[in-house]
Amino acid sequence: MAKKVSKRFTELLKKVDAEKAYSATDAVATVKDLKSAKFDETVELSLKLNVDPRHADQMVRGSVILPAGTGKTVRVAVVAKDAKADEAKAAGADIAGGADIIEDIQAGKMDFDVLIATPDMMGLIGKVGRVLGPKGLMPNPKTGTVTMDVATAVKNAKGGQVNYRVDKHGNVHAGIGKASFSKEDIEANFNTMLLSINKQKPASAKGRYIKSASLSLTMSPSVNLDVLELLEIK
């Protein structure tokens, strides 16, 4: 049974040219004009990459600190011992500890958006890897979430760091700000995100790296992006 399209969404569709490949500047201006929810919607970037994540050398994964931040409050947990746990708390971590955090995760209690761990605690983290992995919460050195410098990691997570990872279908989705952000701030975040993703292009990836891309708000239609322009962001 076809899903019924709301009157609100139908009106928003009229503001988008489905046949057009928008420049980043025009896309940002368009999605800003698509605000319709009672809350501050997230600006969402979606990419279809020409990679096969089943091959380890084509896994695209990384992290980037958005210059204008994400516009959301990020809850950070740190698994560390003694002085490092104290260091994490001093840097602003919402939760810091050791086995107690692992026990909470095993019990289904995960009051955090980002999990950071020191290398010596990864053996403990491994016990809940099957829980954290599917949720995208598993600490990883590539995203700066496995480190002895927990203070910097906490500050980065709180200050606009976004972790991204290609899914099994070659898609990358990332929030790059809020509808309330200025056009300039959204564009700055957009360019920073694309620069990071372009740098992650696997050497073994053949053909055009970005197959398709779009920008949208949480409750809006998608605006198709000019892929050739995106590939030039270096």
What does the pLDDT look like over 17-26, one tens digit per residue? 999 999 999 9
3-state SS assignment for residue 201? coil
Length of the chain: 234
Answer for the pair 177, 186: CB distance below 8 angstroms, yes or no: yes
Number of domains in the chain: 2
* pLDDT number for residue 1: 46
Residue 218 lies in domain: 19-69+162-231
* pLDDT number for residue 6: 86
- In angstroms, what CA-CA distances link 84 with 57, 64, 98, 117, 151? 33, 24, 11, 10, 9
Q: Phi and psi for 3 in degrees, rounded to 5? A: -75, 130
Count other Cβ atoms within 10 Å, centred on residue 22: 21
Listed residue (44, 23, 66) closest to 185, CA to CA:
66
Q: Within this chain, do residues 154 and 91 fall inside the same structural domain, yes or no?
A: yes
What does the pLDDT look like over 179-218, one tens digit per residue? 999 999 999 999 999 999 999 999 998 899 999 999 999 9
* pLDDT number for residue 37: 93
Q: Which of 158, 180, 201 is the last residue in one of the domains?
A: 158
Q: Which of 132, 158, 184 is the last residue in one of the domains?
A: 158
Provide the whole-model pTM.
0.83
Residues of the chain with confidence (pLDDT) below 50:
1
Helices 82-90 + 150-158 axis angle, to 10: 30
Q: Within this chain, do residues 96 and 208 fall inside the same structural domain, yes or no?
A: no
* pLDDT number for residue 3: 61
Q: How many Å from the N-terminal Cα to the C-terminal Cα in the chain?
A: 44
CATH number of 216's domain? 3.30.190.20
